[in-house]
Structure 1
Amino acid sequence: NRELSIALNQQAQRMDLIASQQRQAASQTLQGRQALTTLREQAQWLDESPALGETLRAQVSRLPEMPKPQQLNSDMAQLRVQRLHFEDLMNKLPQLAQGTQDDGSPLTPAQRRILDAQLATQHNLLNALLTGCDTQILELTKLKVANSQLEEAMNEIQEAAHRYLFWVADVSPIGLSYPLHVGQDLRRLVTLDTFSQLTHALGMMLTSQETLIPLFGALLLVGFSLSSRRHYHAFLERSSGRVGKVNQDHFSLTLRNVFWSVLVALPLPVLWAALGYGLRHAWPYPVAVAIGDGVSATVPVLWVFMVCAHFARPQGLFIVHFGWPQQQVKRALRYYTLSIGMIVPLIMALISFDDYSEREFAGTLGRLCFLLLCACLALVTSSLKRAGLPLYLDKHGAGDNVVNRSLWNLMICAPIVAAAAACLGHLATAQALLARLETSVAIWFFLLIIYHIIRRWMFIQRRRIAFERTKQRRAEMLAQRARNEEDLSQSQLNDAAAEVDEKVLDLDTISAQSLQLVRSILTLIALLSVILLWSELHSAFGFLENITLWDATSTTQGVDSIQPITLGAVLIAILVFIITTQMVRNLPALLELALLQHLDLTPGTGYAITTLTKYGLMLLGGIIGFSMIGIEWSKLQWLVAALGVGLGFGLQEIFANFISGLMILFEKPIRIGDTVTIRNLTGNITRINTRATTITDWDRKEIIVPNQAFITEQFVNWSLSDTVTRVVLSVPAPAGANIEQVTHILVQAARRCPLVLELPAPEAFLVDLQQGLPLFELRMHAAEMGHRMPLRHQVHALILEGYCHYQLKSDPS
């Protein structure tokens, strides 16, 4: 009963806590709804007064943060388990009422009264606990609903703030009095006893158990990292001599280089993170807390800079493993000290001013830090561009292309434009856009490093295969030399393996298809990451929906309505067309490399599937994109029908070729790689397009044949169902020659040729007499079209050899 009483008291305390959380959630939801109403009511006056925008931003910033997810479902499940336990105890009460003494004798009347009183008390406690469990489950359900309402309200406020306040000036434009305001705020910041607060915060950090344990762990990690530097340098010395040597180079060297670089780069970021953690927990000192927020936010930036610096060492990842020019890497790191000494502190100060005292110093000192940060970023970005680092690689793996140059120009102009916007008063907008742009570039550069790591792994594997083949050829040559079948010098044996000892191997040996697959996958990952990163600001661009370009009529269930086509819809349609173009360019290749080549498909089926996939993507993207700008299929179908009739006369050949191309893909009378003869032209099918098919003849000339010719005309496909073809040679014999002897010579010549198939067996016949000279036909079969001409050459040579052997000569007359 004592345990049940304690459980009842805990249940009551829990109920009080749940009720308090419900009241808090309801109050915060009401506060958020009121702020949302105020924001929507004042939105139309935002363009008139920057002070109103700053006031509304401050009001939104004072709202509670997004509620953290609570384990309400697990708490309700635990309550249900407790309730089952209490019900089990309740069911056992009748058994306890039948209790006896230890020797089995009945209880005395006094003992019975005591037992009944205790059982009654336990019964009451269990009833109260069961009722409390039911009530607590109900209240937890209400709390869950209140939290979901609060989360919904916070999401609406965040979306409304982005929609109405994102493009509104949050500070006053810079004027002639700006330097005076900066000096005044700097003097005020000093008078806030900043250094004293930092000193007390550091003392609190060193004496509080909450911050001392993480600080001690950070010091241990820093000590381990510093002690491993000697091993790191020794590893760089050893690995740099092994990279590039085919019998010593391994992909594990690259992975270990990455691991050591990340480990050795940890000390400063870890100490920086520990400092930020300690300052953030010094809650009595608001200046220290704001600085702690800035320090913690710059930890990833500092760590990335440190890791890149170790990657760029002369024996590091970029130069030794990736093969980047050392001078190029040095030029890229020209402003590395500036990055560590200026960019990181400026970001820290900027975030600190934004978090301190409702952005009291954001318009002066914070804006000054942002302007200096933009100047540093523009300088560093310009240095990286001059160093020749690629942001985009084309299908040949080269960085000298229009897209790469455009991206670099955008990266250089972005800080300049952001600084100009900050000068005009749009400080928060410039910060948000520039931060996401730089983060997008960081993601892109990270995926570029991943691409080069995968590329190096493929390079090592391909070179190892070449090395094994060369070793096998060398062993065969040595075996031939041992059998005295061939006199080889040692220099010839060395030449056989010389190609694998080269420091640099031509990158063309790497599979271009595999690299294309890797590039396509990484490009899709980059696009998804960037879309997720920028999706938080999608409501900030809602003003584009208010710019109407034209009106379009749409029909829904027979009712016509006018649909405004906005600038936002046009931009989304352009984005859909761009994504469709990228998918049409990359997805068929991904489908071919990742799936189709692993299936047992007939020749040409994979090409047909990828081609139809490309057409389907183009059709789907076109329908979605055009529907966004008011061009629906219901409006186009009559126009298409009319154009079909009109163009059917003027462009009937083009349409016929297009339909014939689709029939070729489905019926497959020809496939990629087939050898065909049409219109006195013979060659291999190399490409099947929508209008025409490309044939490459034996002279390596490309012949364009309309698709309609393969549907309406007669042609020969030498390899449609079987690549075996018959070769017929007309061979004259000398006058008076023995017919059986000549037949034997011809058949033996065919059998001695390795390109002639044994089945069907070669045959020779006397088919004609021309001016007394017997004329024979030798009929034999070749496995494929490529063997026909070498077969004719070899058989003719063997026939002449047989004639000479039997001294058969043609009649000189």
Structure 2
Amino acid sequence: MASGNINHPLADDIRAFSRFGPAIASAIHTFCNALLLPLLLAILAWQMAPAYELMTLKGSVHHAIIVIVPMLFMSMLLLKTFKPDGLAEKHFGWSKSLCRGIHAGMRCFVWLVLPLKFFCESLGTFQNGAWYDSLGRLFFLATLTAISMALYLICRGVNQWRDTVLETQGLARTRAQRRQYRESLLNGGPIDVEMLSADTWKATLRRLLLLGVSLVPMILVGLSISGYHFTSMQMTKRGIWSTLLAGLIAIIAGLISRMLLVTQFRVKLRQLKRNDTGHIGEDESINISEISTQVNQLLRATAIVAMVVIGWHIWSEVSPTIRFLDSVELWDAENHKGELKTYTGSHMLMAIGTLCITWVLSRNLPGLLELTLIDRLPFDKGGRYAISFVVRYLVGLLGILLACKIVGFSWNSVQWLAGALALGLGFGLQEVFANLVSGIIILIERPIRVGDFVTINGTTGHVAQMQLRATTIRDLDMRELIIPNKKFITEDVMNWTLSDQLSRLIVKVGVAYESDTQLVQDTLLSIAKKHPLVLHRPQPVVVFGQFGDSTLNFELRVIVPKRDLFPQVQHELNMAINAEFRAKGIEVAFPQREIRVRTEAMASNPVLERKAS
């Protein structure tokens, strides 16, 4: 797309951020660099595999390499991603302090934790584990200490990043500023409310929480020394994998976020081009900021769900809470195969999670579809909203059905309850159901759409939002009126923009009887043709309406592009008519009345009344 096609001051800047190729190239380069060392170790282990038994030294080394290589690859991937001017900082737009902290922690993990972990795994199999209870346990304790150091570096980077964000927002102060303020208070200085509210208990709690996270491995050290070595070892292994997989999910989320950001810029470019060429109006363009918020919320929710699912699979075997939920029996029901199945607390927890995911998807998935798919389709704003409307409620319905299936609620088991509810709701909520059915009819027939200019029950305004039960109309005074959908089906509705946006404006003017009617007509037509918002096809028309009591009544009939422009065009035409009539000596007539005053003396003396007349 050539820059000359778009006349907008931000077009070049938007175009500069609308390319995804550099991010892909950087991601491939990062992946290859991270794969080099693990690949060499994997080749070495493959060469050693057929030659040595597990209990020998070389066999133990082979086993340790097999265990370490996956961890090393993911660690190197995180290390290369968060390096200075790396993928995370340059393309994801993440904070320098955050990337610096994660890079320092991963560097400690790669060059200190993994070598110690390698010795632990080697000693665990060498000579059937004869050295593991002594030297191997020391290496394990050293591994936990190194993990604590790596977590401390990462948490310090997170804390610095949050402090930087708060300082940018004006909600935090540096240590020197806080110390200077305390000295000022001791010397009797004034109280600064902003300084008091800057370092709140939330920041202190955050620092304590991050410090506690970095000290979790030291708790495992205490468990190992106290005799719970196997428990400590299992939790360490699962903790390492949980952390590395969480980092991998963060990288994938960053790539997807970058791709969606590029898509947003491309959509903005298409909108700018359409606006310049007249293909689409501003009222038909999608709301980029609102959709961006929905997409980011959906991406964060998806990342959290992925972490929860992975954590469930990693910790399900050792977590007593998950095992306890499996032992809580709720009810028995037939599954889809007709077999009797017992449903437990785990099924209920999964159903609740499904409903939460459904709620997030129904609110934010339409924004993702509108950004990636719907904007490319030949639909106006109302059509795009209708598709989003259907997707929102369809996702909600499917999520509810899936949750019911997880806990064993089939139609056969609840059909009597559904019948009773339908009977009760049919009498008590018949108006609500009428509005719901009307909403479905409106969605299918589309007599009104979002953005249409309508008049109903004396209310005129734009259709701002359409829900399944009611529709929101924003009138010309910027008031929002909630109108039940039933009224749009059962009552008369005037849609000014159903087939097109064109509307006719009539400007009435009265001139004196002595005026030249041809001059009046020519003047009105000249004013209309000069106005930039008056369309030339259909052409403006001047109609000599009637002979009034004291005026010759003319009507100037013009076509404007939108109904919203009525006040502006009417004002400007009236101003121009007044100026032109004054310049050409055309008198704008006004009603004339003859007033007679009759006193009591005139009523009693007809002669005086005739003289006064």
TM-score between both structures, scaled by the size of structure 2: 0.69
Matched to 1:298, the amino acid is I
1:549 aligns with 329
Structure whose alpha-carbon radius of gyration is higher: 1
Once the two structures are superposed, residues 515-568 of structure 1 have per-residue CA deviations (whole angstroms, 9 ceiling, x without a partner) of 8668857976896798589769888899568524333465999x9x97533123
Do the aligned partners of residues 703 and 372 (structure 1) sit closer, same or farther apart at CA in structure 2, a change above 3 Å counting?
farther
Do the aligned partners of residues 408 and 721 (structure 1) sit closer, same or farther apart at CA in structure 2, a change above 3 Å counting?
farther
TM alignment of 1:209-248, pairs within 5 A: none
1:747 aligns with 525
TM alignment of 1:645-794, pairs within 5 A: 645-794=423-572
**Displacement of 1:412 after TM fit?**
6.3
Matched to 1:604, the amino acid is G
**Displacement of 1:447 after TM fit?**
0.8
TM alignment of 1:431-470, pairs within 5 A: 431=236, 433-451=238-256, 453-454=258-259
- 1:799 is the counterpart of 2:577: yes
TM alignment of 1:233-312, pairs within 5 A: 272=41, 276=45, 283=52, 286-306=56-76, 308-312=78-82
Do the aligned partners of residues 540 and 712 (structure 1) sit closer, same or farther apart at CA in structure 2, a change above 3 Å counting?
farther
**Displacement of 1:332 after TM fit?**
3.6
Instruction: Supply the distance in 1 between the matched residues of 2:336 and 2:28 (Cα, whole angstroms).
Output: 60
Identical-pair percentage: 26
TM alignment of 1:114-513, pairs within 5 A: 272=41, 276=45, 283=52, 286-306=56-76, 308-356=78-126, 369-370=139-140, 372-388=142-158, 424=228, 425-426=230-231, 429-431=234-236, 433-451=238-256, 453-454=258-259, 513=291
SS of 1:581's equivalent? helix
Matched to 2:531, the amino acid is C
SS of 1:703's equivalent? strand
Runs of 5+ unmatched residues, structure 2: 1-12, 163-168, 172-201, 277-286, 593-613
Contact 1:319 1:325 survives alignment (8 Å): yes
Instruction: Supply the distance in 1 between the matched residues of 2:513 and 2:523 (Cα, whole angstroms).
Output: 16
Once the two structures are superposed, residues 155-211 of structure 1 have per-residue CA deviations (whole angstroms, 9 ceiling, x without a partner) of xxxxxxxxxxxxxxxxxxxxxxxxxxxxxxxxxxxxxxxxxxxxxxxxxxxxxxxxx
Instruction: Supply the distance in 2 between the matched residues of 1:452 and 1:553 (Cα, whole angstroms).
Output: 43
SS of 2:440's equivalent? helix
Instruction: Supply the distance in 2 between the matched residues of 1:249 and 1:705 (Cα, whole angstroms).
Output: 41
Contact 2:14 2:265 survives alignment (8 Å): no
Instruction: Supply the distance in 2 between the matched residues of 1:535 and 1:310 (Cα, whole angstroms).
Output: 27
1:592 aligns with 370
2:8 aligns with none
Once the two structures are superposed, residues 669-704 of structure 1 have per-residue CA deviations (whole angstroms, 9 ceiling, x without a partner) of 211111112233222112111222122233433332
1:808 aligns with 586
Instruction: Supply the distance in 2 between the matched residues of 1:459 and 1:674 (Cα, whole angstroms).
Output: 25
Instruction: Supply the distance in 1 between the matched residues of 2:47 and 2:436 (Cα, whole angstroms).
Output: 71
2:398 aligns with 620
Contact 1:551 1:562 survives alignment (8 Å): no
Do the aligned partners of residues 725 and 247 (structure 1) sit closer, same or farther apart at CA in structure 2, a change above 3 Å counting?
closer
1:217 aligns with none
**Displacement of 1:708 after TM fit?**
2.5
Contact 1:436 1:533 survives alignment (8 Å): no
Instruction: Supply the distance in 2 between the matched residues of 1:459 and 1:622 (Cα, whole angstroms).
Output: 31
**Displacement of 1:320 after TM fit?**
4.5
Q: 2:421 aligns with which of 643, 647, 654?
A: 643
**Displacement of 1:441 after TM fit?**
0.6
Once the two structures are superposed, residues 648-687 of structure 1 have per-residue CA deviations (whole angstroms, 9 ceiling, x without a partner) of 4444433333232222212222111111122332221121
Do the aligned partners of residues 607 and 632 (structure 1) sit closer, same or farther apart at CA in structure 2, a change above 3 Å counting?
same
Matched to 2:52, the amino acid is W
Matched to 2:253, the amino acid is L
Matched to 1:680, the amino acid is G
2:382 aligns with 604
**Displacement of 1:607 after TM fit?**
2.6
Contact 1:675 1:684 survives alignment (8 Å): yes
Contact 2:298 2:360 survives alignment (8 Å): no
TM-score between both structures, scaled by the size of structure 1: 0.54
**Displacement of 1:290 after TM fit?**
1.4
Instruction: Supply the distance in 2 between the matched residues of 1:703 and 1:300 (Cα, whole angstroms).
Output: 60
Do the aligned partners of residues 265 and 648 (structure 1) sit closer, same or farther apart at CA in structure 2, a change above 3 Å counting?
closer
SS of 2:422's equivalent? helix
Instruction: Supply the distance in 1 between the matched residues of 2:18 and 2:489 (Cα, whole angstroms).
Output: 55
Matched to 2:259, the amino acid is I
- 1:632 is the counterpart of 2:410: yes
SS of 1:388's equivalent? helix
Matched to 1:798, the amino acid is A
Contact 2:512 2:550 survives alignment (8 Å): no
Matched to 1:338, the amino acid is C
SS of 2:447's equivalent? coil
Matched to 1:445, the amino acid is A
Do the aligned partners of residues 752 and 342 (structure 1) sit closer, same or farther apart at CA in structure 2, a change above 3 Å counting?
same
SS of 2:455's equivalent? strand
449-458 or 290-299: which moved more?
A: 449-458
Do the aligned partners of residues 429 and 325 (structure 1) sit closer, same or farther apart at CA in structure 2, a change above 3 Å counting?
closer
Instruction: Supply the distance in 2 between the matched residues of 1:309 and 1:448 (Cα, whole angstroms).
Output: 17
Contact 2:92 2:255 survives alignment (8 Å): no
Instruction: Supply the distance in 2 between the matched residues of 1:645 and 1:452 (Cα, whole angstroms).
Output: 48
1:47 aligns with none
Instruction: Supply the distance in 1 between the matched residues of 2:411 and 2:344 (Cα, whole angstroms).
Output: 20
**Displacement of 1:720 after TM fit?**
1.5
Do the aligned partners of residues 654 and 778 (structure 1) sit closer, same or farther apart at CA in structure 2, a change above 3 Å counting?
same
Aligned residues: 520
Do the aligned partners of residues 457 and 351 (structure 1) sit closer, same or farther apart at CA in structure 2, a change above 3 Å counting?
farther
Instruction: Supply the distance in 2 between the matched residues of 1:307 and 1:550 (Cα, whole angstroms).
Output: 45
Instruction: Supply the distance in 2 between the matched residues of 1:782 and 1:408 (Cα, whole angstroms).
Output: 63
2:597 aligns with none
Do the aligned partners of residues 294 and 778 (structure 1) sit closer, same or farther apart at CA in structure 2, a change above 3 Å counting?
same
Do the aligned partners of residues 439 and 421 (structure 1) sit closer, same or farther apart at CA in structure 2, a change above 3 Å counting?
farther
Do the aligned partners of residues 451 and 556 (structure 1) sit closer, same or farther apart at CA in structure 2, a change above 3 Å counting?
closer
